Amino acid sequence: MATICRPAIAVPENVITMEETLDMAQRVHAGSPQLPLALRLITNTGVQKRHIIQPLEQTLAHPGFEIRNQIYEREAKRRVPPVIQQALANAEVTARDIDAIIYVSCTGFMMPSLTAWLINTMGFRSTTRQIPIAQLGCAAGAAAINRAHDFCVAHPQANVLVVACEFCSLCYQPTDGDIGSLLSDGLFGDAVGATVVRGQGGTGVRLERNAAYLIPDTEDWISYDVKDTGFHFRLDKRVPGTMEPLAPVLRDVARGHGWDAGNLDFYIIHAGGPRILDDLSKYLGVAPEEFRFSRATLTEYGNIASAVVLDSLGRMFDELRLDDGAQGMIAGFGPGITAEIAVGSWATPDTNAALERSLEAVVSA
């Protein structure tokens, strides 16, 4: 049974506070008629600070798409390997034990994927499968967990490394004054996360069922306009209301597993913004406190895109002392509008071994 182990997370050393964000917005976008509304929305996000790979003044100076992408590659090669090493140690495996690497990112582009460089430089086997995911945005973290689960179902003894590398600050566009762009300038942060999904053994969340759902005719609600200056983020004002149609989907996934989505032991939810969590609390009938890991990520790091679910999961590992079999849900939301959902239960090596023995007995009977 596939088990997602304790993630590793790292954020850059450069910090921008809420106060600095508001000051920057007023200074750079002083002429925008949308500025007063944007300042209110940024304040309401509750994001107290974010971490970015370059000092703020360098981030504000746009050197062009080519140089920004060079920065992305340089910083990814510098910052990803230490996080992977920690994730491998957390899972008690080595690079040689990994059968597939799922690499997710929507804030820079490399071909071949960073996975090829990682295999060549970090001791992974040359036969390691490469699964890069570049266009699922914030949903990609949960999607990567689900695809790792699928891989382990197909290859029960496999181990899959999931890596999320998001440098959202490289997508800042100082000439964009629409409300979606202004809000994103105060919401997104940079981070690298990694975790191992073990096909056998491990301590963590035993993944038991996953699903995906696309809200019809919403593909232009979250998007990039790709221009000479790079990725220009576009956000429709209807996005914050998407939890009303998605909450029943989460309920159906849990119900299909015999569980009640409103009565689980833990929740790891992508925190795109505070309203996402508020609405999900309302429509699932879950106490707001149950989403505290996601809220903490949002408050301390901002929206770190695909890395949110890994950071929130890591916070749960740090805080909760779960009983074997404790039930929970992981969900990420992103462009499409796409939802990636997983349900699973807490497991230790002993409980995993007992389950594997019982399954073997059933098969051999």
Based on the domain organization, do 67 and 116 belong to the same domain?
yes
Query: Catalytic: 168?
Result: no
**Residue 14, burial from CB neighbour count under 10 angstroms (0-12, 13-18, 19+):** middle
Mean per-residue pLDDT, 256-285:
93
Instruction: Please indicate, yes or no, if residue 243 is contained in any of the structural domains.
Output: yes
The DSSP bridge partners found for residue 334 are 338
Instruction: Please indicate, yes or no, if residue 358 is contained in any of the structural domains.
Output: no
Mean per-residue pLDDT, 7-15:
97
- Rounded CA Rg of the chain: 20
Based on the domain organization, do 271 and 184 belong to the same domain?
no
Report the CATH number that the domain containing residue 341 is assigned in CATH.
Answer: 3.40.47.10
Residue 186 has a pLDDT of: 84
Going by their DSSP bridges, the two strands 100-104 and 159-167 should be labelled as: parallel
What confidence category does residue 24 fall into, taking pLDDT thresholds of 50, 70 and 90?
confident
Instruction: Please indicate, yes or no, if residue 364 is contained in any of the structural domains.
Output: no
pLDDT tens string 171-212: 998 888 778 788 888 889 999 999 999 999 999 999 999 999
**Residue 258, burial from CB neighbour count under 10 angstroms (0-12, 13-18, 19+):** exposed
Is residue 137 within 8 A of residue 78, CB to CB? The reply is no
Instruction: Decide if pLDDT at 357 tops 70.
Output: no
Residue 273 has a pLDDT of: 85
Helices (H), the chain: 18-28, 35-44, 56-60, 65-91, 114-121, 140-154, 179-185, 243-256, 274-284, 292-301, 308-319, 349-364
Based on the domain organization, do 193 and 254 belong to the same domain?
no
What confidence category does residue 353 fall into, taking pLDDT thresholds of 50, 70 and 90?
low
Based on the domain organization, do 271 and 347 belong to the same domain?
yes
What confidence category does residue 28 fall into, taking pLDDT thresholds of 50, 70 and 90?
confident
Instruction: Decide if pLDDT at 363 tops 60.
Output: no
Based on the domain organization, do 208 and 223 belong to the same domain?
yes
Based on the domain organization, do 43 and 8 belong to the same domain?
yes
Residue from 5, 106, 138, 171 carrying the catalytic annotation: 138
Based on the domain organization, do 268 and 183 belong to the same domain?
no
pLDDT tens string 211-248: 999 999 999 998 998 999 999 888 888 988 899 999 99
Residue 180 has a pLDDT of: 79
Instruction: Please indicate, yes or no, if residue 249 is contained in any of the structural domains.
Output: yes
- Which of 176, 198, 220 is the endpoint of a domain? 198
Number of domains in the chain: 2
Based on the domain organization, do 19 and 159 belong to the same domain?
yes
Based on the domain organization, do 7 and 109 belong to the same domain?
yes
- Which of 137, 169, 198 is the endpoint of a domain? 198
Indicate the range of 1-5, 21-25, 115-119, 289-293 predicted with least confidence.
21-25
Instruction: Please indicate, yes or no, if residue 240 is contained in any of the structural domains.
Output: yes
Q: Which range marks the domain in which residue 35 is found?
A: 3-198
Instruction: Please indicate, yes or no, if residue 227 is contained in any of the structural domains.
Output: yes
Based on the domain organization, do 142 and 41 belong to the same domain?
yes
Instruction: Please indicate, yes or no, if residue 61 is contained in any of the structural domains.
Output: yes
Instruction: Please indicate, yes or no, if residue 48 is contained in any of the structural domains.
Output: yes
Residue 199 has a pLDDT of: 96
Instruction: Decide if pLDDT at 74 tops 60.
Output: yes
Residue 1 has a pLDDT of: 82
- Which of 140, 173, 198 is the endpoint of a domain? 198
pLDDT tens string 103-147: 999 999 999 999 999 999 999 999 999 999 999 999 999 999 999
Based on the domain organization, do 33 and 181 belong to the same domain?
yes
Q: What is the dihedral of CA 171, 86, 268, 38, to 10 degrees?
A: -20
Based on the domain organization, do 173 and 312 belong to the same domain?
no
What confidence category does residue 362 fall into, taking pLDDT thresholds of 50, 70 and 90?
very low
